[in-house]
Amino acid sequence: MKENIKPATGRLGVLVVGVGGAVSTTLITGTLAARKGLTKAIGSITQMAKIKMKHGEEKLIKDVVPLTDLNDIAFGGWDIFPDNAYEAAQVAQVLKNSDLDLVKDELENIKPMPAAFDHNWAKRLNGTYIKQAATRWELVEQIRQDIRNFKADNQCNRVVMLWAASTEIYIPLSEEHNSLQALEKAMKENNTTVISPSMCYAYAALSEGAPFVMGAPNLCVDIPAMWELAEKTRIPIAGKDFKSGQTLMKTVLAPMFKTRMLGVSGWFSTNILGNRDGEVLDEPENFKTKEVSKLSVIDSIFEPEKYPDLYKEVYHKVRINYYPPRKDNKEAWDNIDIFGWMGYPMEIKVNFLCRDSILAAPIALDLVLFSDLALRADMYGIQTWLSFFCKSPMHDSEHEPVHDLFTQWRMVKQTIRSLVGEEAPDYLD
């Protein structure tokens, strides 16, 4: 019920890991401009979407549940380079200078804290503005102190931490990830092969009472040790990997094929992408992390064990190619081989020329605001209802992820309605 949700009073600190990156600076610039009335928050569910109530009345989501107002957000974070947000945004070249200049003074005042960084987890990056620590545990303590300092300096009542940094190398689940005790032991023993920098940030956030949102496909909060910590601290966790471009299309097209009972024999996806993200993903170990995330989508939607005649042997291939001239303007191609009546083959080709950070920025904003809402509503642990925004939706070992975009959207609306004691309409919306 709404009366059980703590009000969004005071300031909300949004601490971004990778605050100087393309997604982050686009998010920050757009939010600062929107709260001045200089632009619209297009693409943001929290700011623009409406929801139907029981008696047919339509309301903006932000008028149904008490979300933090954009004017009450203070941005900060960490980066491996010392550039302020204005300088970093110019390097990223997502937004025009004329748009950056609308909020130039505010962007220049957002200066990163030195990052917790390990070159072995992102070999294509050479960070120059990084923390020094003898162990992963010491790194955690430094990040925790950064959170406290930011909160005090910016007079924030609450903080949400958002990972918008690069994809780390792929690692499988190990024994050190299976319990909080084992994770802490590995951190203190400085086991850098299984404890990633992102795990240090997540542990610090949860320990300081800050919801943690994973915007990349890293193995991080999707491990039993972090679930245990989230339960212990009663803090929400959400992720993972922003569902912004090609995968967004898959979660729309695949449900259409399944609903129409059309078969699929193959799905080939390739991308060209520049910017820091593309450079990092050019490293095979880092691409493996992204590949696992992107490949996980259609199997879950198609349910081949239920429909073997249609989806038993779908050949699914994903490629990402680093192409510096495109910078943030990613181009994605999909070739889908389908078959219909009497097994006759057909083809669908999709060419999506998208702007990666333009699509990801509103997702990041929504995940932050909804995670803060979850915190104030005492909804701790895995936020399954936020699967709508993620390529690899967070789930525990006892449940399967939901990938169908329209099912995910219903989960969002039903959660919002339940928070205010509202029943769903009698019809499917």
pLDDT at 355 over 70: yes
Instruction: Give the pLDDT band (50/70/90) at residue 3.
Output: low
pLDDT at 358 over 60: yes
Average pLDDT over residues 180-202: 98
Answer with the residue of higher pLDDT: 61 or 54: 61
Instruction: Give the pLDDT band (50/70/90) at residue 391.
Output: very high
Instruction: Give the pLDDT band (50/70/90) at residue 282.
Output: confident
Q: What is the mean pLDDT of the chain?
A: 94
Q: For the chain, what's the residue count?
A: 429
Instruction: Give the pLDDT band (50/70/90) at residue 51.
Output: very high
Name the CATH architecture for the domain at 2-242+357-419.
3-Layer(aba) Sandwich (3.40)
| 378: alpha, beta or left? (left if phi > 0; alpha if psi -120 to 50) | left
As a whole number of Å, the end-to-end CA separation of the chain is 22
pLDDT for 199: 98
Instruction: Give the pLDDT band (50/70/90) at residue 154.
Output: very high
246-353 maps to which CATH number?
Answer: 3.30.360.10
Of residues 116, 29, 30, 34, the one with CA closest to residue 80: 116
pLDDT for 287: 87
d(CA 158, CA 71): 14
Question: What is the per-residue pLDDT across 308-329, written as a single tens digit (0 to 9) for each?
Answer: 999 999 999 999 899 999 888 9
d(CA 236, CA 149): 22
Question: What is the per-residue pLDDT across 204-218, written as a single tens digit (0 to 9) for each?
Answer: 999 999 999 999 999
pLDDT at 426 over 70: no
Backbone angles phi, psi at 212, to 5 degrees: -120, 130
pLDDT at 172 over 60: yes
Q: Which two tokens stand for residue 322?
A: 């680093």
pLDDT for 25: 98
pLDDT for 309: 97
Any idea which residue has 């072995």 for tokens? 120
Average pLDDT over residues 361-375: 98
CB 185 within 8 A of CB 176: yes
Answer with the residue of higher pLDDT: 108 or 285: 108
pLDDT for 40: 97
pLDDT for 279: 86
CB 128 within 8 A of CB 82: yes
d(CA 234, CA 380): 5
Of residues 276, 252, 79, the one with CA closest to residue 163: 79
Lowest-pLDDT choice from 59-63, 70-74, 391-395, 408-412: 391-395
Instruction: Give the pLDDT band (50/70/90) at residue 425.
Output: low
Q: 246-353: same fold as 2-242+357-419?
A: no
Average pLDDT over residues 222-241: 97
Question: What is the per-residue pLDDT across 110-137, written as a single tens digit (0 to 9) for each?
Answer: 999 999 999 999 999 999 999 999 999 9
pLDDT at 234 over 50: yes
Average pLDDT over residues 51-65: 90
For the chain, give the percent of residues with pLDDT over 90. 85
Of residues 124, 153, 131, 6, the one with CA closest to residue 65: 6
pLDDT at 1 over 50: no
pLDDT for 235: 98
Average pLDDT over residues 164-180: 96
Name the pTM for this structure: 0.94
Domain limits of the chain? Answer: 2-242+357-419, 246-353
